[in-house]
Amino acid sequence: MRLPAGSSVLVIYNARAGGKTHEQFAELLEQKSKQYEFEFRVYEMENQDCEGNIRKEIKDYHPDLLIAAGGDGTLNIVAKIAPDYQLPVMILPCGSANGMARELAIPNQITAAYDVLENYKIKPVDLLTINNSTCVHLADVGLNARIVKRFEEDPRRGLSTYARYLWREIFLIRSKSFQIRYDGKSIRRRAVSITFANASKYGTGAVINPTGKIDDGRFELCIVKLFPWMKIFSLTWKMFRGNLQTSEYFEVISCKKAHITTKRGVVLQVDGEVIGQVKHIDISITPLALKLLLPAVS
């Protein structure tokens, strides 16, 4: 299906996410609006605390489509709002790591991503709620969350900055004990990290959840257990090959609801945004809550 001519589009744009300059972004948007014959309004995000402003724009403008132009954090904010208005969301990958776009085979080139409007389908996907925060893609505690925290505090963006903090963290690998209750069961695990996965892979292409699907009404607890330092290269190789489940240091649990506790606080990140130090984590799923506009052939 092609976007109907005369459609109104609200673009939620995060200039800080990286990618093109403001002028380049505005020029391309103008060009594509003429090509696909849609009207548009842009809301430029100045910080993460903008949910109320976006809701006001929707009520004032009555759009037919929302475009999340940024990274996973931008999509997270839009995904929290869109279901309340039954609006579909198109992802325009402008971030440092566009994990959900990669997950859904949305072109990483912004021009090509716009061209999804030529032939698209609407796909409903699940949403997670983690400690009252919406999660579209992936959330975690442990190794990756600490890296994300340092990445957030660094004014430099991009995968090279992320890789720098990853390299530092692997020499400081530590584990914590977690009590995990899920779907009426209870276990205890000592882990380097636990990922709460709606999707399967990070923006780098590393697969943390080899069996995950975003529309099956379930999420996965992906547990990386304490491992010898020299195994980091083997684990990384398996992640990029998509067969991490073959490692003795990895465990995956599929469930619909979970409650996790730890005696010492751990950093929690959700869709690339740090929530803070937590000791209790509640996770639930809302099936098929968000409508995404995707390439028809994906």
Q: Which CATH superfamily is domain 8-118 in?
A: Probable inorganic polyphosphate/atp-NAD kinase; domain 1 (3.40.50.10330)
Examine domains 8-118 and 133-287 and report if their fold is the same. Answer: no
Main-chain phi, psi angles of 277, to 5 degrees: -80, 130
CATH topology of domain 133-287: Tumour Suppressor Smad4 (2.60.200)
Place of tokens 């899920």: 182
Q: Which of 2-6, 32-36, 168-172, 200-204 has the lowest mean pLDDT?
A: 168-172
Cβ(162)–Cβ(96) below 8 Å: yes
**Percentage of residues in the chain having pLDDT higher than 90:** 70
What pTM was computed for the model?
A: 0.90
What per-residue confidence (pLDDT) applies to 157? 47
Runs of H (alpha helix) within 36-181: 51-61, 72-81, 99-103, 110-114, 143-153, 159-169
At residue 49 the predicted structure's pLDDT band, cuts being 50, 70 and 90, is confident
* Domain ranges across the chain: 8-118, 133-287
At residue 18 the predicted structure's pLDDT band, cuts being 50, 70 and 90, is low
- Across 83-118, b (16+ Cβ under 10 Å) vs e yields beeebbbbbbbbbbbbbbbbbbebeeebeebbbbbe
At residue 217 the predicted structure's pLDDT band, cuts being 50, 70 and 90, is very high
